[in-house]
Chains A and B, each alone.
Chain A
Amino acid sequence: MGMMTRLPHLSESMLEQLRSEVERNIDRYRNNGFADLTREPGWSIDLDINFDPSGLEALDGSAKGAAGDLKNTRIVAKVLQDLSPSLANEERIWVRLSHVEGFRYCRDRWLSGLHDDQAVAKAVRLHFFARTQTGLRDDHAISRLWWNAYIAKHCYPHDADRGLELLLTRADVRSSLVERIWLTGRRRLATAVFRSMENDAFVLSSERSFREFMKAINLLGGGIVFEAMTDVEIDSFLARCSAHAEAQLADPLPSNA
């Protein structure tokens, strides 16, 4: 373990400067990054959060797909465990980390194999910056991993690592859960959905089964105050949703419900 230091972030003007100079910095993005600039004004404003910057060096940019994301999410979750969800919405933190402490990973994971400068610039804008919530959650090389861990812990607090494995089972499962904030935000319901993913073999059996299951929750759950139900009652509601979804798949002429 390396030395603990304060988590840094960029100044607003440095963020905008970097954003406007992606093309000019292409060689830096392709090669050695920006670590030599951290003592320049605007690069290193400390936050009141301790972290071990060397922890991000363990990120493995050659590990792609769900297995790679799982491995790398565990690293980010540990290194940035003290970051609050409020601060995790701050682009200036993530852009600093993707340009300095986590640069090697971000470059290897998202820029390797790209030959023309335009493709590199496009990938940099997508994976080294994060202007919107979707960008933070789905695209930025490091923050997407942090949000994986946060959502898994929020939804499956008693076994966050198992929650993470369930969330990252397949790309469609992750995107379906992270986009349905009205569902994942309601912790008791979300925990029960993860329990169904764990215990009800139908739910994760195919992309279609999972999609129909989520549609059934939407359809049958209208106006239900899940917060006023017991876990047993929520589980039994989800069993009904699963049966409904299975019937939809079996129906040769599925309705558009």
Chain B
Amino acid sequence: MKLSDQMLFGHPILSSGSNDYHDSLFAAEFDINIEDPDWLIITATINLQCSDLDTLLEEGGAGCGFYVICRETYQNRLIEMTPGRASHKLNAHHFFGTIQLRPVVWSTESRTGWTSKYLHPEYGGRVDFPAAAILAVGDESRFSIDRERLRPFESIFALAANDGLQRGEMAVDPERDKITIFVHPETKDSVDSIRNDPRGRTVLLNALYLPALMQVLSEVAQRGNTFENKAWYRIFSAKCGASGINPESGELLQNAQRLLKYPFARIEDQKERLFS
């Protein structure tokens, strides 16, 4: 009962692999957007060219949509839509790895003696089918979901040494693929040595990334989307979207804290480990 191209049915099926219908077509194109780490947006364009099946859909005798299947997370859902183009927003945390998409048309009631002029002659122009039976099935599309969900916000930043700065001083350059935080070479060595420790990360989030992000938000507020061609901007704008933040609003402190999920709370959570 898995949907496959080799299924055999007692009634005609419109598909690229069968000759049950002539001069007809059922196909779909899918576009997947995973820019927002919380949402998987599937834009489906379903193309049904068979006026008799179209009429059946309009009468309510059939339904149309597509299956979304993700084996890694045990998802197998049917999303209903009429033929044409529509976007669907799914919780991205329910998906991982490969997503299979397959368009289908199914009967919503049983019919006896349903007629279509597009049926293969061997059916004699009229057929029977039960309720909830597949009437048309399109080719499967597969997408691989970005496996980078564990990437922390800091991954859009890079750290680099600059001996024009004094110890403890920092500067931010958003003109590179990653937002680059420059520090004195000795300071960079200290940062490198503490960044792998979870306690060190808590400190860096507050002392380094929070002010750097405020500087970036200030530049974005002044220069709008002139950063769109930078690699960091895609993740940055997705994270802003996910948190409902307008990066150009100029609310630097408030937005930076929200994007880093209120990093001072981590100091509070870990204060026993940090200051023991």
Contact = CB atoms under 8 A, between A and B. Distances in A.
Contact of A154 (B74, B95, B152): B74
A39 B107 CA distance: 60
B106 A228 contact: yes
B198 to A, nearest CB: 5
Contact of A5 (B9, B94, B269): B269
Interface stretch (B118-126, B128-136, B171-179, B181-189): B128-136
B69 interface: yes
Contacts of B269: 4-6
Nearest to B69: A185
Contacts of B74: 85, 150-151, 154, 181, 184-185
Contact of B132 (A85, A133, A182, A229): A229
Contacts of B23: none
Nearest to A222: B1
A233 interface: yes
Contacts of B196: 11, 40-42
Nearest to A178: B74
A2 B189 CA distance: 35
A243 B270 CA distance: 60
A84 interface: yes
Given A85-B93, A87-B93, A6 B69 contact: no
A47 B198 contact: no
Interface in A161-210: 181-187
Contact of A223 (B9, B75, B77): B9
B2 A182 contact: yes
Interface residues of B, number: 43
A9 interface: yes
B93 A86 contact: yes
Contacts of B150: 9, 45, 47, 87, 90, 92
Given A89-B72, A89-B73, A223 B93 contact: no
B81 to A, nearest CB: 13
B97 A89 contact: yes
* Among A42, A44, A186, A225, residue most surrounded by chain B Cβ atoms (within 10 Å): A225
A228 B198 contact: no
Contact of B1 (A84, A154, A218): A218
Q: Is the interface of A mostly helix, strand, loop or mixed?
A: mixed
A224 interface: yes
A183 B93 CA distance: 21
A116 interface: no
A173 B93 CA distance: 28
B4 to A, nearest CB: 9
A222 to B, nearest CB: 5
Nearest to B109: A228
B78 A181 contact: no
Nearest to A39: B197
B92 interface: yes
A8 interface: yes
Contacts of B132: 224-226, 228-229, 233
B61 to A, nearest CB: 12
Contacts of A224: 1, 132-134
A227 interface: yes
Most chain A CB within 10 A, of B3, B149, B150, B269, is at B150
B63 interface: yes
Contacts of A217: 1
A40 B200 CA distance: 12
A218 B3 CA distance: 11
A226 B1 CA distance: 11
B1 A48 contact: no
Given A41-B196, A48-B261, A84 B94 contact: yes
7 contacts: A87-B93, A89-B73, A89-B96, A90-B149, A185-B70, A223-B9, A228-B108
Interface of B: 1-3, 7-9, 13, 63, 69-78, 92-97, 104, 106-108, 131-134, 149-150, 152, 196-198, 201, 261, 266, 269-270
